[in-house]
Amino acid sequence: MHKQDKLYIDGNWVSTAGRQFLDVMNPATEEVIGRIPAATRAEAGQAVAAARAAARTWGCTPVKERAAYLARIHQGLAARADEIARTICAEVGMPLKLSRRIQAGLPAAVLESYVTLLGGYAFEERIGNSLVVREPAGVAACITPWNYPLHQAVAKVAPALAAGCTVCLKPSEVAPLSAFILAETIHEAGLPAGVFNLVTGTGEEVGEHLARHPDIDLISFTGSLRAGRRVAELAAGTVKRVTLELGGKSAAVVLDDADLPTTVKSTVGACFLNSGQTCTAHTRLLVPEQLYEQAAALAVAAASAYTPGDPHDEQTRLGPLVSAAQRERVRGYIRQGVAEGAVLLTGGAEPPDGLATGFFVRATVFGKVTPEMTIAREEIFGPVLSIMTYRDEDDAVRIANGTPYGLAAAVWSGDPERAERVARRLKAGQVDINGGAFNLLAPFGGFKQSGYGRELGRFGLEEFLEVKSIQLRE
């Protein structure tokens, strides 16, 4: 049982005045595995005040010193990697084998990347008679989701601290336990008081207060489209800078010269990762009309390897969804797909065999999905793949771009130049070609209603910097 009864404010662990707590549930067992404080608005305000008081000094701290703090935090997280993997496996349900590599490994790698980046980043440059300087934006509110809880926190906190900003972190109350590990690690690294603050609670109470608070200079938010709109609305009152990373409905475009078995297997894996609870999940498989039958058979075969099961079992590839509400939401989309005429090739809304307990959903593949169907347009956030057909390249691009989202996409082809040509036409923030690997130094973010701003690498750092021109007399 992970019992957390304190918030981390101004370098200290402090008891919440409200004495209200929120339960954290294991989605595989439906057991309560932890409890966290539900901070009040007053306590969120205390965290902001601490961050504001620390901002001036931290913003003037030499870059080498900031990098040294980040290096110590990186070392601390790396030392607790197994604990992190097991904690997130328990609170999110990602299979432990994957949790070790992704939920624990990725945040440490992001931190290390910013230590390296700071060694060569130019915070000043001369342009003509102007000295252009990049300064910390000030106090940053980082509001993070539950699907990759520590990664999403580190992807905001690391560049914020690197830039010289102070931070108020508000993690999702659904999966908040790894945020306490981060706070403990930061405390042990000796970061000055007030530079990092952790306030847990609900979005309505804590998140909205941070979004509208006049002493917050910048908000970096990852979550649903609905919540992102609300954050932007509240932030507009004080004209804050806002970075939004929202939903996706990513298409994998399979050209007629692609290696179809490899393509379909990879797309199914990209769709079902973390039980489909991934904003960049490739949930639409677009294939030429003449390849539909073959692609459908391959997808069903690939999906058969994703049998829901205990996430602590090393053989499990598909864990539960994070909550009962999420499970019912996904099952509702599956029922809607059937009702609107999509062909259910495998899976379905019925509970998986032998799993009466836990928020599990069958690995589901739909065929003959058309662009106007709900399952082709809305983010499901579950293990549901839609196979769609197209006539030619122009039709494929039209369908791929035909949703309100634009976070990610993929192109598969035997001709790399042809694949790149199609990739350039897709309205998405990142496009993989033939399974191109995720790059921690490349910008991450979306087009259209997938949000604005970028994370990771130099682009993520610059979201936390203001640019000033100093005109010099020559």
Query: String of b and e for 71-83 (b: at least 16 CB within 10 Å)?
Result: bbbbbbbbebbee
Inter-residue contact 64 to 32 (CB < 8 Å): no
Of 112, 279, 379, 463, which one is the catalytic site residue?
279
b (16+ CB within 10 A) / e for 29-64: beeebbbbbbbbbebbbbbbbbbbbbbeebbebeee
245: annotated active-site residue? yes
Structure tokens at 148: 């990759």
Triad 80, 86, 89: Cα angle to 5°: 135
For residue 73 the two structure tokens come to: 């935090």
Maximum pairwise Cα distance, the chain: 78
Could you tell me which residues are beta bridge partners of residue 409? 251, 431
Active site residue 279: yes
Select which of 208, 245, 379, 463 is catalytic: 245
3-state class (DSSP) for residue 429: coil
Q: How far is CA 342 from the centre of its chain?
A: 29
| Euclidean distance between CA atoms 459 and 243, whole angstroms | 12
- Please, which residues bridge with residue 430 across strands? 408
Q: Which among 249, 247, 265, 251 is positioned nearest to 423, based on CA atoms?
A: 251
Q: Which one-letter DSSP state was computed for residue 238?
A: G
- Beta strand ranges found along 101-216 (DSSP E): 124-127, 130-136, 139-143, 166-170, 196-198
How far, CA to CA in Å, does 290 sit from each of 254, 391, 392?
12, 9, 11
Which residues are marked as active site?
A: 245, 279
